[in-house]
Amino acid sequence: MNKYKSVQQYLKDLEKALEGLDPALISDALDDAEEHLELSTKEHASSAACSSDQEALKAAIEEYGLPSEIAEEYYRMESEKTEKKVVAQRWMFSRIFGVFIDSGTYLNLAYVLLLLPLGIIYFAYIAVGALLSVGLALTIIGIPLGILFLLSIFGLSWFHGRMSETCLGIRMPRKRRKFIATGTAWQKMKAILEDWRLYTSACYLILMLPLGLIYFAAFVLLFATAIGLIIYPVAVPLGIELSLGNLPINTTTSTILYPILGFLLLTFSLHLVRAVAYCHGIMTKALLVKR
C-alpha cells in the first residue's frame, strides 16, 4: 500500500530498509531514488492522468517500487557480488612477499604520497575561500560567493572520494549529490550550514595537510633507507656516499648483511603502506559518506 505523502518520507523508509549495507551504497541508492521520484512526479503531475501532486507521487512510487522492494533488490545484488568473491588461501611466503607484485600496493603508495600536495591545495583553497566569504559577507556578491564556496567543499569531497575508491579499493558514493534548497539566498546558505557533512568534509580536507606531511616524511625516510641498504655493495665501490647513520660501513659483513636488511625493510615499508592506506580509508568513509 502506498502511504507516502512526500519523497522525503519515502527516503526515510528506504534508508531503514537498506540498513546493514555499505553506507556509500545506501547514499547512492537514496540519491537515485530521490532523483527518479522527483523527475517522475513532475512528469506525472504535468499529465492529464493525475489531478494532484499527491496522485503524481503515488504514480511515481508505483512505477519505481516500494522501499522494501528496492531494498530487496539491493540486498540480492550485494549477495551475488559476495558469492563471486573467492578468497584464495595463500602460503605465508606469498602473503609476506606478494606485496611486491600486488598492483594495489603501488596504488596505495601513490595515494599516501599524493596526500601532501593535495593537502596543500585543499588547505589553501579552504583558507582563502573562507576569508573571502566572511570578508565579503555584507556585500552584494558575498552571499552568492559564500554559497558557491560551501557547495565546492562538497564537490572536493566527492572528487577525493572517487580518488580514494580508485586507489584504496573502498566503496565511496559514485553520484555527486545535488543540493536542493528553496527560498532566499540567506535561506539557502542556512540550509547548507545545517548539513553536518559540510563540517566533516571540511575537517577531512584540512586534515590532509598534516597527515600528508607525516605520511610523506615517514615513507620517504623508510624507502630511502631501504634502498640505500640494498644498493650498498654497488654504491661503495663506485664512490657513492650513503648516509646510514651510525651503522658500520666498509666491512665484509655489512656488504652481505645490509642488502638483506634493506630488502626486509622495504618489505615492511610496503606492508606499512597497505596498513596506513586501510586505516586512512576507514577515516575517509567515516567523514565523507552520508550516514
Residue-averaged pLDDT of the chain: 83
Output the pLDDT for position 149.
87
pTM above 0.85, yes or no: no
pLDDT reading at 105 higher than 90: yes
Amino acid at the residue 267? T
* Pairwise CA distance, residues 217 & 101, whole Å: 24
- pLDDT band at 56; cut points 50, 70, 90: confident
How many other C-beta atoms can be found within 10 angstroms of the C-beta atom of residue 251? 10
pLDDT reading at 104 higher than 70: yes
Distances from the Cα of 249 to the Cα of 24, 235, 236, 246, 252, angstroms: 53, 12, 9, 9, 9
- Residue 169: left (phi > 0), alpha (psi -120 to 50), or beta? left
Distances from the Cα of 94 to the Cα of 27, 98, 102, 103, 143, angstroms: 37, 5, 11, 14, 58
Model pLDDT for residues 124-147, shown as the tens digit of each residue: 999 999 898 888 877 777 777 888
Q: Where are the domains of the chain?
A: 7-84, 90-291
572528487: which residue's cell?
159
